[in-house]
Amino acid sequence: MKITITAFDRSPDGGRGLARDTRVRWALEEVGQSYEVRLVTFDAMKQPAHLLLHPFGQIPTYEEGDLALFETGAIVLHIGERHAGLLPNDANARSRAIMWMFAAVNTVEPPILELVTARIFEGDKPWAKERIPLVMGHVRERLKQLSTRLGDSEWLDGAFSAGDLMMVSVLLRLRASGILEEFQNLAAYVARGEARPAYKRAFDAQWAVNNRN
């Protein structure tokens, strides 16, 4: 069945792979499913047609036959459940891979998003200078715990899974901050993710969209 996703017509990151459609593209590339992309402008994202697909007016969305989904984690999980390559067969290992997906978006990403807010949306506020180091401290606390758990393992729990796909994608948002490099095993973990052929194809595809003409 034809799969159609939505992505930014022009991503705020200029195509550096940080928009969430990259996560969905990566998942589809890992499982070898082709897909079409419908580009959406910021204006169109807030219009009724798109809000029917995504009530919070964001990208990506996922359409396949009668099914329409929003929320990146749910889309990646759906892809992993329908196609081999993102979730282990063993039931317990599968539950743990899904656990890392939720850990990525609900435990590790929130302080990282706070840092983005503090820097970009509140960067001109009088409190920015004093508050940013505080938020960076929260990010470091989480990374330290994650770094301890990862140790010198290649991936979070056995073979590469949708949990790693989500965690690497979340950590990539830290690249510009320099914090990731304070944790060598996490920096190497992210580099392993980026080195996967499926990631490269996903990155190249979203880069091409954002750097056309």
The residue among 29 and 64 lying less far from a copy of itself, judged by its C-beta, is 64
Per CB under 8 A, 106 contacts a copy of itself: yes
Q: How far is the CB of 140 from a copy of itself (least distance, A)?
A: 13
Per CB under 8 A, 120 contacts a copy of itself: no
The residue among 92 and 213 lying less far from a copy of itself, judged by its C-beta, is 92
Radius of gyration in angstroms for the set of CA atoms belonging to the chain, rounded to a whole number: 17
- Nearest Cα neighbor of 23 from 196, 169, 194, 155 is 169
Residues 15-54, one symbol each (x = binds a copy of itself by CB under 8 A, - = not), give ------------------------------------x---
Q: What angle do CA 205, 211, 213 make, to 5 degrees?
A: 125
- Structure tokens belonging to residue 21: 């459609």
Among the listed residues 84, 134, 159, 188, the single contact to a copy of itself using CB under 8 A: 134
Beta sheet of 67-70, edge-to-edge order: 36-40, 3-8, 61-64, 67-70
The residue among 42 and 102 lying less far from a copy of itself, judged by its C-beta, is 102
Per CB under 8 A, 77 contacts a copy of itself: yes
User: Phi/psi class of residue 65: alpha, beta or left (left: φ > 0; alpha: ψ in -120 to 50)?
Assistant: left
- Structure tokens belonging to residue 158: 């056995």
Q: How far is Cα 63 from Cα 70, in angstroms, rounded to an integer?
A: 9
Q: How far is the CB of 105 from a copy of itself (least distance, A)?
A: 4
Q: Of the ranges 32-40, 68-76, 186-194, 205-213, which one interacts with a copy of itself (CB under 8 A)?
A: 68-76
Element holding 73 (H helix, E strand): helix 72-82
Rounded to whole angstroms, the maximal C-alpha distance in the chain is 52
List contacts with a copy of itself (CB under 8 A): 51, 55-58, 66-67, 69-75, 77-78, 81, 92, 95-96, 98-99, 101-103, 105-107, 109-110, 113-114, 117, 122, 125-127, 130-131, 134, 142, 145-146, 148-149
